[in-house]
Amino acid sequence: MPKPPSLQDVANAAGLSPATVSRYLNGSLNLPPATAERIDRAIAALDYKPNPHARRLSRGKSDTIGLVIPEIDNPFFAKLAAAAEREAEAAGLALMLFSSLNRRERELDYLEKLRRNFVDGLIFATNSRASEDLASVINDLKNVVVIDEDIDGVTAPRVFSDNDTGGVLAARCFIENGHTRFAFIGGPEDIMSTRERLAGFRRVIDGAKSGATLNASYFGSYSVEFGRTATARLLDEHPDVTALFVGADEILFGALETMRGRGMTAGRELSVITFDDAGPLAFFDPPITAVRQPIEEIGRTAVNVLRRLIEGSEVEPVTHLPVELVVRRSVRRLS
């Protein structure tokens, strides 16, 4: 286990000083071909690779960005992370994944890492109730881009899905299939994604000629459990509803369970559209119609915005990425 060669070793081997080699390597020095050749050969011979810790300490930069997400173990964020990583890698950046478990303390911790230049920038997603303190910490930092869910009072660049349009697409799909009595089961009532999805959904319903009505809406959390209970309530309280729009895959899962428990099938007794389309909904039976978030696109865009932020370019303060309705077979054609 011999020690890896240092810049010094390379310099010795090439008969030069470390400074020269360093500057050559970093492009801040043009060397005559002969000298360059000597260095290249020395590097190859020794199999030299710069020590990243030393380099970071010295430069105060790490060529690494961080991605803070609630949980890796969530298809939505897993896909997001995969796309972000690929984009980062293509840009010569390393991507560190931090999972906050939605705990404020951990979120702050990661932001702190940014401040210490542990990473050069941070892509930040949170599901926890936005709070003033979080916003102010983020605003004190530069090189943060917020994604997926808004944080009140944050001035950093943000990248979101077009949630409102998602609601619109869902409502239209139901209406085109003849539905008139609707329900919505969303996530937390006070967060942007829930509000916007519902807003779009409701606007279309209210504007429909057919006398469509939004008979019920339930708010809770993006969890299977909430999907289960809210759907049970819905079925009890509004048995006449024929079209259900749920705010996330997890809620869908719970809804399907409850429905199945009552002998109901999506697309038969109750039509269902979900939001996200991160899980393998195409393999469900029936396949579930969904508003698909541009997950990969969010990841890639966030990385690119962050890159521009880091290099000091202008960036759009907020970008909305288009969603798409993926029609499968969970919406029944009425009449």
Which x/- pattern, by CB under 7 A, does the window 48-87 give for DNA? Answer: x-xx--xx-xxxx---------------------------
Dist CA 146 CA 128 (whole Å): 13
- Read off the tokens for 246: 């749920």
Q: Binding of DNA at residue 263 (CB under 7 A)?
A: no
Dist CA 179 CA 198 (whole Å): 17
Q: Binding of a copy of itself at residue 81 (CB under 8 A)?
A: yes
Binding residue for a copy of itself, selected from 45, 54, 90, 334, defined by CB under 8 A: 54
Give CA torsion, residues 230, 320, 69, 57, to 10 deg: -170
Task: Report the residue number, 206 or 285, with the smaller CB distance to a copy of itself.
Answer: 285
Q: Binding of a copy of itself at residue 265 (CB under 8 A)?
A: yes
DSSP assignment of 179-224, as one string?
--EEEEE-S-TTSHHHHHHHHHHHHHHHH-TT--EEEEEE---SSH
Dist CA 104 CA 108 (whole Å): 6
Q: Where are the alpha helices (DSSP H) in the chain?
A: 7-14, 18-25, 33-46, 52-59, 75-90, 104-115, 132-140, 163-176, 192-207, 224-237, 249-261, 295-310
Residues 150-169 that bind a copy of itself (CB under 8 A): none
Which x/- pattern, by CB under 8 A, does the window 271-290 give for a copy of itself? Answer: --------xx-xxxxx----
Q: Which residues pair with 145 in a beta bridge?
A: 123
Q: Binding of a copy of itself at residue 104 (CB under 8 A)?
A: no
What is the nearest approach in angstroms of DNA to the Cβ of residue 33? Answer: 9
User: Biggest alpha carbon distance in the chain?
Assistant: 86
- N-to-C CA span, the chain: 76
Q: Which stretch binds a copy of itself (CB under 8 A): 31-39, 49-57, 202-210, 305-313?
A: 49-57
Q: Binding of DNA at residue 29 (CB under 7 A)?
A: yes
Task: Report the residue number, 113 or 320, with the smaller CB distance to a copy of itself.
Answer: 113
Dist CA 196 CA 330 (whole Å): 23
Q: Which stretch binds DNA (CB under 7 A): 46-54, 152-160, 174-182, 306-314?
A: 46-54
Residue where the block lists tokens 């899962």: 253
Q: Are 88 and 65 in contact (CB under 8 A)?
A: yes
Which x/- pattern, by CB under 8 A, does the window 60-79 give for a copy of itself? Answer: --x--------xxxxx--xx
Residues 222-251 that bind a copy of itself (CB under 8 A): none
Residue where the block lists tokens 């043009």: 30
- Residue 1 contacts which entry, a copy of itself, DNA, none (Cβ below 5-8 A, type-dependent): a copy of itself
Q: Which residues bind a copy of itself (CB under 8 A)?
A: 1, 4, 49, 51-54, 56-57, 62, 71-75, 78-79, 81-83, 85, 96-97, 99, 112-113, 115-118, 142, 252-253, 256-257, 260, 265, 279-280, 282-286
Where does this chain bind DNA (CB under 7 A)? 3-8, 15-20, 22-23, 25-26, 28-32, 35, 48, 50-51, 54-55, 57-60
